[in-house]
Amino acid sequence: MVARVIFHVAANSAVLSWSAAYRVKVLGEETDLREVPSVVAGDKASRHSIILAKSTPAKKYGIQTGEPLFQALEKCPGLVVIPPDYELYVQASRHFVDMLREFSPAVEQYSIDEAWVDMTGTQRLWGTPRLAAELMRRRINEELGFTVNIGISSNKLLAKMAGDFEKPNKVHTLFPEEMGAKFFPLPVRDLFLVGAATERKLQRLGIYTIGQLAAADVRVLKKRLGKQGELLWHFANGRNADAVTPEPAENKGYGNATTTSHDVVTHEEAHQVLLSLCETVAARLRKDGKCGSCVSIHLRTNEFHHFSHQCVLHGATNITTELFEASCRLFDEAWDGITPLRQLGVQVTRLSGEPYQQYDFFSGLSPQQFERKLRLDETVDALRDKYGEDIIRRAKFANGTEPHMAGGLSKERRTGVTKPVPKEF
């Protein structure tokens, strides 16, 4: 039986590296953003302004991904700040994955800047796993202009853990026989899927390293952490049988959320935000030929308290106004009318791909009305696909002060990739 060989390949400081490479190789700029304190962040005046990516020199100032931009500027007043360029990132990601597929057809993209590659049985083509990884790393650097870390192991979990070892531009192995020296001594927080809250729970059990977690009594872990405890115990022991799946899993739900530019304090404001979210959620459902019968709303206050509310509709739908009406009902039931809100979200689950709608006496919508609404929504979708999402908007957004399609991907990524980006950058 041929031993499995799995690579985990992740771009180093991806979005900043892609912007830097493009500016140097394509635009001819002299300054390489990777060599100076620099970050990718949103609009300085927006509450969305957080650090999306940072250069290695920026790390020396204590700048962290996810922190507010104003805090980063306080740490480094001379910080170079560039806006995100989603068209560029999508193109760079495509070139990146295309390069990986030259080494193996079994590539599973995990995010825009990382993927697993099943290299099992390719030794006659590329040599030993380390030789193949070194070749892959060099080609990506020379042909695409950015660096990657590559982790090598016999399963996806250990390959990803190896890829997170010393950075940047490195190749690391973590096979089962290497776990004692390389894996078990690591802090338990470094284990995949262990966050701050789980780390605190484990530390209360006297578990501080991955090795201690691997040696713990799984029954105690299940009692204290539930199913997650057993899963983490298997992870700590390096067990993961997931195959590299080139095709992404089908969506189990569709949802969008948005952080508002100011606190929402009235029902009218909230309903407008919910409509903008339903516009994008419903459009995605229609694009994928899906309907949903369970609608949920998620609210976050200006003090970061979170609560949600949901209902089941009488029939599955992907009509914008139906999702909007259900969202408004849920919101009016859930919100106290006083607490300021900073984030709202809408989610649709219990999906169906059936090409028909179930009608009943309670929906108040006749088959003819449903068809008219669906045709209208599909016509609007077609116009937005062809001319851009701003070609048509509802009268509620006529003043233009708030986005009429909010949440999810940025406007740039929703409206398609048009910037010509050569492969060699």
The stretch 328-351 carries a mean pLDDT of 92
Confidence of residue 412 (pLDDT cuts 50, 70, 90): very low
Q: Distance (Å, rounded) from C-alpha 35 to C-alpha 58?
A: 9
Per DSSP bridges, beta strands 171-173 and 148-153 are: parallel
Average pLDDT score over residue span 51-68? 89
Give the residue-averaged pLDDT of 334-358. Answer: 83
Question: How many other CB atoms are there within 10 angstroms of residue 237's CB atom?
Answer: 18
Q: Is 33 helix (H, G, I), strand (E, B) or coil?
A: helix
Separation CA 243–CA 63 (nearest Å): 36
Cross-strand partners of 256: 346
Q: Is 274 exposed, middle or buried (0-12, 13-18, 19+ CB in 10 A)?
A: buried
| Average pLDDT rounded to a whole number, residues 316-342 | 92
Tokens (6 digits) for 194: 């262990």
Distance (Å, whole) CA 127 – CA 135: 10
Contacts of 255 (CB under 8 A, 6+ apart): 281, 296, 298, 345, 346, 347, 348
User: How buried is 67 (Cβ within 10 angstroms: 0-12 exposed, 13-18 middle, 19+ buried)?
Assistant: middle
The predicted structure's pLDDT at residue 407: 66
Strands 291-301 and 341-352: antiparallel
Q: Residue 417 — pLDDT band, cuts 50, 70, 90?
A: very low
pLDDT (tens digit per residue) in 226-282: 999 999 999 999 998 888 888 766 668 899 888 887 889 999 999 999 999 999 999
C-alpha Rg value of the chain to the nearest Å? 24
- Smallest CA-to-CA distance from 292 within 312, 324, 317, 275 is with 317
Q: Tell me the residue ranges of DSSP E strands in 64-138.
A: 80-82, 107-111, 114-118
**Closest to 288 in 3D by CA, of 228, 237, 355, 345:** 355
* Residues in Cβ contact with 31 at an 8 Å cutoff, skipping those fewer than 6 apart: 23, 80
Residue 262 main-chain phi, psi, to 5 deg: -150, 165
Residue 425, pLDDT score: 56
What pTM was estimated for this model as a whole? 0.68
Q: How confident is the model at residue 363 (pLDDT cuts 50, 70, 90)?
A: low
Taking residues 209-237, report their average pLDDT.
94
Tell me if 15 sits within 8 A of 53, measured CB to CB: yes
> Choosing from 87, 108, 114, 389, which is the catalytic residue?
114
Rounded Cα gap, residues 27 and 170, in angstroms: 28
Residue of higher predicted confidence among 177 and 418:
177
DSSP state of 30: S
Residue 68 pairs in a beta bridge with 50
Backbone φ, ψ for residue 204 (5° rounding): -65, -20
pLDDT (0 to 100) of residue 400? 61
Mean pLDDT on 51-72: 89
Strands 291-301, 107-111: pairing is unpaired
pLDDT at 326 over 60: yes
Q: Quote the pLDDT of residue 423.
A: 55
Using one digit for the tens of pLDDT, what is the confidence trace for 87-108? 888 889 999 999 999 999 999 9
Residue 14 clears pLDDT 50, i.e. is over it: yes
Of 92 and 400, the one with more pLDDT: 92
Confidence of residue 418 (pLDDT cuts 50, 70, 90): very low
Of the candidates 26, 23, 19, 147, the one whose C-alpha atom is nearest the C-alpha of residue 422 is 26
Res. 359 pLDDT band, cuts 50 70 90: low
Residue 401 pLDDT more than 70? no
Residue 168: asked if its preceding bond is cis (omega within 30°), the reply is yes
Average pLDDT over residues 303-307: 82
pLDDT at 272: 92
pLDDT reported for residue 355: 44
Q: Are 173 and 162 in contact (CB under 8 A)?
A: yes
In this prediction, residue 245 carries a pLDDT of 83
First to last CA, the chain: 41
pLDDT digits (tens, 9 = 90+) for 19-53: 999 998 888 899 999 999 999 987 665 555 788 88
pLDDT tens-place string over residues 118-167 = 999 999 999 999 999 999 999 999 998 899 999 999 999 999 999 999 98
Of the listed ranges 68-72, 259-263, 325-329, the least confidently predicted one is: 259-263
Percent of the chain scoring above 70 in pLDDT: 89
DSSP letters, 131-160, are HHHHHHHHHIIIIIS--EEEEEESSHHHHH
Mean pLDDT value of segment 109-113: 89
176 contacts 154 by C-beta, under 8 angstroms: yes
What are the E-state strand segments in 85-235? 107-111, 114-118, 148-153, 171-173
**Which structural domains are found in the chain, ordered by start?**
1-173 (3.30.70.270), 184-236 (1.10.150.20), 254-414 (3.30.1490.100)
Q: Is 114 a catalytic residue?
A: yes
